[in-house]
């Protein structure tokens, strides 16, 4: 079956909760052996791994800062040592530190660009040679509707997520000849901890703008990732798949 991931190995960054957790659960349910990274939510990460193992899946967990190259090398190396291959890489790790640029600190800029964009570089760099040698692989990098349309108070976030798109398109051209696809998922507003602070007025404005008149769930995004890492998407690369209910039309 096109969406069957039996025998595949996957690594998902920033996956102890929210979208990343849904991606991990979805890929494991499709048959993949799944490793994931987290930064600080140890209890949630360990609980997720136990959940997968109780369901009969193989699981690896790595703690670290995705913005550091050493964390990426440790995780990719750990997957290769345990399972011998890395077939799927999903770069989901990310943060927000919103505020008008007038008051945005250099630290807030660097932190967001590091967590959202440099982390994708780090893990893609670490997986580059192994996937080239395999002559196969699926990479999905997480962007955002904000990286396409922009948003006041999110210049750092918008820049990082727009950078993910340009980075992914360039990498797709580098790796295509070796059978490796690189695609982007660009969610709209998703019901996660990251968006839980939205005011009622802001939430209403989003619902009014979206063609589907609802926010997304983490599972909506995970389903798109599942498609792009499956054999159903073998001839898709350099693509940005919007999962935004029509916000970016």
CA dist 172 and 3 (Å) reads 22
Q: 9-243, what's its fold?
A: Rossmann fold (3.40.50)
Neighbours of 41 (CB within 10 A): 17
Taking the domains of the chain in order of start, what are their residue ranges?
9-243
What does the pLDDT profile of the chain (249 residues) look like in tens digits? 789 999 999 999 999 999 999 999 999 999 999 999 999 989 999 999 999 999 999 999 999 999 999 999 999 999 999 999 999 999 999 999 999 999 999 999 999 999 999 999 999 999 999 999 999 999 999 999 999 999 899 999 999 999 999 999 999 999 999 999 999 999 998 886 655 666 677 677 777 888 998 889 999 999 999 999 999 999 999 999 999 999 888
180 closest CA partner among 122, 210, 136: 136
Active site residues: 157
């Amino acid at each position: 079956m096109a969406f069957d991931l039996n025998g595949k190995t996957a690594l998902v960054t920033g996956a102890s909760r929210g979208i990343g957790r849904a991606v991990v659960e979805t890929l494991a349910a499709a048959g993949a052996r799944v490793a994931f990274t987290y930064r600080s939510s140890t209890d949630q990460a360990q609980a997720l791994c136990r959940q997968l193992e109780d369901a009969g899946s193989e699981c690896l967990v790595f703690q670290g800062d995705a913005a550091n190259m050493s964390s990426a090398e440790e995780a990719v190396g750990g997957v290769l040592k345990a399972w011998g291959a890395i077939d799927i890489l999903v770069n989901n790790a990310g943060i927000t530190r919103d505020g008008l640029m007038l008051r945005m600190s250099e630290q807030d800029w660097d932190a967001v660009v590091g967590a959202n964009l440099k982390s994708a570089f780090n893990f893609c760099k670490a997986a580059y040679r192994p996937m080239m040698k395999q002559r196969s692989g699926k990479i999905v990098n997480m962007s955002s509707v904000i990286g396409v349309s922009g948003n006041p108070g999110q210049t750092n976030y918008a820049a990082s997520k727009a950078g993910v798109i340009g980075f992914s398109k360039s990498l797709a051209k580098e790796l295509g000849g070796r059978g490796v696809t690189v695609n982007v998922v660009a969610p709209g507003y998703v019901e996660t901890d990251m968006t839980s602070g939205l005011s009622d007025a802001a939430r209403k404005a989003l619902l009014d703008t979206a063609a589907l008149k609802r926010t997304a769930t983490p599972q909506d995004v995970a389903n798109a990732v599942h498609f792009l890492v499956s054999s159903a998407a073998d001839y898709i690369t350099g693509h940005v798949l919007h999962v935004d209910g029509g916000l970016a039309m």
